[in-house]
A and B are shown apart, each in its own frame.
Chain A
Amino acid sequence: EAGVAQSPRYKIIEKRQSVAFWCNPISGHATLYWYQQILGQGPKLLIQFQNNGVVDDSQLPKDRFSAERLKGVDSTLKIQPAKLEDSAVYLCASSLERGTNSLLYEQYFGPGTRLTVT
């Protein structure tokens, strides 16, 4: 079974530029998550999709970050314009979960995209 795919693996941009990350979850997984992992910290959930609908985006800085999952499969996360503090690893994860009350479904993580903003 193929895992969660992410691209690119590394990206270096200057501040105020824009950048986009792509994620393809495990086939059949209804729920997709984007996490931000700043160096020395644990991952922080940015946004969670259930199929193509947003379940939780309470920690997404909506003035500069956006995400979409138009067909309920792959997803893109965009930052525009980027700031120095956006330097981090952006992790995508997926799970089978098809409802909002299940506590049973494991999240599978991709390898992440390491973003450096200079």
Chain B
Amino acid sequence: GDSVTQMEGPVTLSEEAFLTINCTYTATGYPSLFWYVQYPGEGLQLLLKATKADDKGSNKGFEATYRKETTSFHLEKGSVQVSDSAVYFCALRGLTGGGNKLTFGTGTQLKVEL
């Protein structure tokens, strides 16, 4: 079945540092890939997405490129801010079932310090 593996946290960075959160997936065919962010006390918010190989999703300075050859969708940001502190979830929407089902990774907590 479909699965998502992402790096364990917490990841602690200083403000303005470069961020990479690794995500790899297992799925049949060409799933759609997503990054969601969950700020403390809030629900999940879609951060960015990519629906086909080599697509790059971007939003709020975050980027991720859909790499079919490595089945990866790593999240990057060039300069993190304290306000980026949150839990980040990688997810895929597979092609089986047709029900728009999302499969999530376990989440990576990011802490950004001054």
Contacts and interface: CB of A to CB of B under 8 A. Distances in A.
Interface in B23-51: 32, 36, 41-46, 49, 51
Nearest to A99: B98
B101 A106 contact: no
Grouping DSSP codes into helix (H, G, I), strand (E, B) and loop, the A interface class, with mixed when no group exceeds half, is loop
A13 B20 CA distance: 40
B62 to A, nearest CB: 16
A42 B43 contact: no
B36 to A, nearest CB: 8
A97 interface: yes
A97 B32 CA distance: 15
A103 B51 contact: yes
B80 interface: no
A42 to B, nearest CB: 3
Contact of B100 (A43, A105, A112): A105
A42 B25 CA distance: 14
Given A40-B106, A42-B107, A4 B99 contact: no
Contacts of A31: 100
Interface in B45-91: 45-46, 49, 51, 89, 91
Nearest to B30: A103
Nearest to B45: A109
B48 to A, nearest CB: 11
Residue from the set A4, A43, A110 with the largest chain B CB neighbour count within 10 Å: A43
Residue from the set B32, B44, B89 with the largest chain A CB neighbour count within 10 Å: B44
In order of increasing CB-CB distance, the 3 nearest A-B pairs are A42-B104, A109-B43, A109-B44
Interface of B: 4, 32, 36, 41-46, 49, 51, 89, 91, 93, 95, 97-102, 104-107
Given A100-B98, A111-B42, 13 more contacts: A31-B100, A42-B107, A43-B102, A44-B104, A55-B99, A56-B101, A102-B100, A105-B100, A109-B36, A109-B44, A109-B45, A110-B43, A112-B43
